[in-house]
Structures are given as C-alpha cells and as structure tokens.
Amino acid sequence: MPSKLSWPLLNRLAFGLAVLLRWAHELAMPALTRDMQTQTESAVNLLRGHGVSLARVNWQDVSAPVFEPLNLWPPGYAWLMAGLLRWVSPEVLVGTQVMHWAGLLGLLLAWWWLLKPLKSRLVPYAPAVIFLFWGLSNAPFHLLFGTDLLALACYTGGLAVLLQLLTRPARRPPGPGPLLMSALGFGACLLRFAYYPLAFFLPLTLLVFAWRWRPQLRRPALASLLLLLALVGALLLYQARIAGDAYYITKFYTQLATEAPTAARLGLYWYHLGQFDPVLYHSFFSNELDFSRVPHGVALRVGAVLAVSVVVAGVLALGLRQEWRAAYRQGRLWPTPGVLFHLLAGGTALLCAGLLTALSLRYPAALVGWFAGGRWTYVADTRYFLPAFMSVSAMLLVLTLARPARLNPAGRRVAVALLGFSLLLSLATRDRRTAQNLLKEPAFFMDKSQGISADVRQLDRFLRTVQPGEPVIMGRNYYNKRVEIAARLAGHIVLDADSLLAHAPLRTSRPTLMLFDLNPDTPPTPAVAAFLEQHHARQRLWLPTMRTIILSVEVQP
C-alpha cells in the first residue's frame, strides 16, 4: 500500500526532473539561429518605435533607413521578446534562454494535463516513464528553433482543454474551457503560420462531438469557433495592413536563384514526396547515428528507417485496434478517453503531415545552399513535423503503458525494446555532444573562452553606445558571424563592402556615422582601402581574439 500511495509523488518528481533535464540540455547546447536572430532584431526595432520591422539601407538617403515590416513570421515572438528585453533583461541572450525554457516548461505542462484524463487507464508509474523518456531522449525534440516550442506548447494546451471537455461528466458545465481552448490555439497562430489549420482543428472537433454526443456543448463549441475566427481574422488584417502580407500564406518561400518568390509556378510536384521526412523513425531517433562514417552508410540508414517505421506502424496498428475493440465492447464506440486521446493525437499528426504535403505538392522546391541536396521543400524539413513527432511518441508510450493492456506480450516487448534502444542511443550521444559544446570554443554566442568573452563584452558595449535609434551602417570586407549578430541585435544595418561600393558616392541628407569591420589577417581590397581613405576612417576598436578591427567613417552630405 505505501508504494502505491507514493506513485503520485514520484510521478511529480519525475516530471520536475524531466523539465530540469531539458532545461540543462538547452543550456549546454544553446542556439541563436537565423530565425531567432531576425525576429529578435524586429523586437529591438519595436522597442525603438519602428514597429515589428527590419532596418534596410535607403540608398537615396543613407541617413534615413527604411524599416520594412516583418512578414516571414507572425508578430508573436517579437512581441514576447520585446517584453523580455524591456522588463526582464536588456541582454538578448538572457531573453532567448528564457523563451526556450518557458517553451519547454509550457510544452511539458500541457502534456501533463493532456494525459490526465487517462490516469485510470494507465499503469501508476506511466507519467514518470513518459516524461523521463522525453526528458532524456533527443527525440522527438528535433532541431528546435525559436517559435517551435512556444507554438506547440500553446497548441498542446488547447488540445488538453479539448480532451478535458470531451471526457468530463455530461452534466458538468464547460465553463470558460471552450474559449480558453481557442485562445491557446490562437496563441500558436501568433507564433507560426503553420498552426492555422491545427488551431481550427480544436473547435471544429469539439463541435463535431458536441453535435453527435454532447448537445450541451454545441453553443460553447460555436462560441469558441467564432472567437477563433475573430482572432485569426484580426491577425490576418494585421498581416495585410501592417506587415504587408503573410509570407507563407500569400507567397511561397522559395529563395529561387532564377526568379522572385511571387513568380513561383504552381503545379503538382509529385516527385517532392520522395523527400518526405521519415516521421515514424524521427519520432524516436534523431540524427545521432552518422551513417556516412561507415561503409554502405546510405543503405544502412535506409534499412534502419524502414525497420523502425514498420515496427512503429505495426505496434500502433495493433494497439489502436485493441483500443477500438475495447470501446466497442463498452457500447460507446467513440467517446471513451482512450479512443479520444488517440483520435486527437493521431489527427494532429495527420493534419500536420497533410499540410506539409499539400504545400510541397503545390509549390516548386527552393534552391538553397543550406539544405542537403540544395533543394528544399516542406516535407523534407524535419523540424516542421514536431507536432507529429510528439503525437506519435505519446501514442506509442500510452499504448505500451495502458491498463488493461492494449498490446499483446510480443507487441509490448517490441515497443519496450524500441523505446529502450532510443533512450540508450540518446544517452550515449548526448554526453559526447554536450561535452563538445561545453569544451570547444563557441561559434558566436555562448562565449565561454575567457578571451573571447572579454572581446564580446567590449564589442557589445561599444555597439550600444552608438546613439540608439540613429542610423548606423555596419560595413564589412569579410564575414564574421559574431560581429554581424552583435550589430543586428544592437539595431544596426549590416551590408557587405560590394553593396557599399556599388552605390558610391553615397547620398545622405545629414552627417552619418558608419562602422566598418576589417579582418587584420585579410588586407582590404584596393577599392575598400580607397573608400576608407577618402572618408578618413579611424580605428575605434581592436579585438585580438576575435580577429576584428572596427573603424568609424563619417559620411558627409
């Protein structure tokens, strides 16, 4: 009896440990990606009175930069980051870490509440197993950037409210639950365009079940749908009037080398499906195994993907069949908590994959240098499937830990073996990867090397002293990522020397300060040297460990 009574406490302790493990993982392996950098740059401009925008050079008058509204993302992340920079800490890196930690905590809390209606149908230690698996495993948390965690946390929170509404006693009033559900779905829309269809999945599902089984929920379901329509309509109005467009809705993200995104040809590109990400495999295994280092690595990877995918699909099929039969025997084919959970999780995975498939079929591939093979399409990008990864992972865990059993002994042993191997591989690779990130000299922002951190602090201080809000152009004759990030996050405009010289002589209506970033190991070209001499450039900052010289140039009218 004492051991049974202790499980609720142990489950809560395991949940807290899972949160700490994921926080520690984020702290040891930080990432300030291009997406996050750009949205944070727009937050800095928002605080300076220019709205959620990005600064661009005005070649007709370099003293009056153009602030273009941010349209690649909804404004949610920029609004949140602006609030953190103003009221929590002016340090961008602190704000970035807080956003990551808040997203992780919100996501795991949402899953805690989503699994709560299944409490009586799972073994007592199920929450501990599920959250420790997610806390320790590298999957299904793949390549998380910027808004991924926060958006999925909001959506999963809405899903949790929906399941609570569908499983509560029929006579119990819904209260503000339906409206909260739509508000959480809209929160995801504020962070990523991809959550528009998922957000509407919530009230539409409630309406369908209310119409068939819960008449008392019909009006609340309609109210929640109308609320979401109003909120998304307001967001679309913002995108149309303020941002100019909703990039992923009114345009196609191509980065085509030969034509503008607006000229992308619509069609049916069936061959794009050949790039489909192995969702069932990546729900349990990220790219820990580097198959390229072994003979016949491609064949081994294909074999591993097929084997894992077949196993996962087989276990899910067996378990869901048993869940269906159990509901049928109870005389309530659909509205049992187990069937509802799998319907919502499976529906999320299918809707996510369906949206990415539709976009990939309709639009040409983007020709980009940063993606494997140089051709990018939606179904090929692993991190876009995060809602599907979490759903598939949760479904298999719930079926494995169900009480009464939903898997026969053989199926359960296969599922446990799969989960165990996934966890062991994550543990074996996490230590190596974490040590690499803790010991190596960081690329740009977690500057743990004493010399680097001193230079970085000096650079950040210098860039902030340059008249906040005044137009400052950061020229360069080579690419230094750390200097670029510092300059952009200080609100400066960055351009390369070729663009600068192509518009010489510069036009300006008043004296303008320009900063120029030189590499002491690479002498400037004759054209750059002549430009600096013409404008009487003087050295302002020398950062030896970063190999950077910052010059200042006064451009006169």
Helix (H) or strand (E) holding 475: strand 473-476
Q: Per-residue pLDDT tens for 279-322?
A: 999 999 987 776 767 777 788 888 999 999 999 999 999 999 99
Confidence of residue 525 (pLDDT cuts 50, 70, 90): confident
Q: How far is CA 295 from CA 55, 286, 301, 305, in A?
A: 49, 20, 11, 17
Q: Pick from 289, 309, 312: which is nearest to 428 by CA? A: 289
Mean pLDDT score of the chain, rounded to an integer?
Answer: 83
Q: Per-residue pLDDT tens for 116-128?
A: 999 999 999 999 9
Confidence of residue 441 (pLDDT cuts 50, 70, 90): very low
Distance CA 82, CA 190 (A): 15
Question: What pLDDT does 300 receive?
Answer: 87
What's the whole-number mean pLDDT along residues 4-24? 86
Confidence of residue 452 (pLDDT cuts 50, 70, 90): low
Max CA pair span of the chain: 87
Confidence of residue 334 (pLDDT cuts 50, 70, 90): low
Residue 130: strand, helix, or coil: helix
Q: Per-residue pLDDT tens for 351-396?
A: 999 999 998 888 888 777 667 777 888 999 888 999 999 999 999 9
Between 145 and 152, the higher pLDDT residue? 152
Burial grade of 79 (CB within 10 A; 0-12, 13-18, 19 or more): middle
Between 51 and 171, the higher pLDDT residue? 51
Q: Tokens 């200097």 correspond to what residue?
A: 483
Pairing relationship of beta strands 375-376 and 366-367 according to DSSP bridges? antiparallel
Question: What pLDDT does 467 receive?
Answer: 60
Distance CA 158, CA 110 (A): 8
pLDDT at 131 over 70: yes
pLDDT at 545 over 60: yes
Q: What is the pTM of this model?
A: 0.89
Question: What is the gyration radius of the CA atoms in the chain, in angstroms?
Answer: 26
Q: Which percentage of the chain shows pLDDT scores above 70?
A: 84
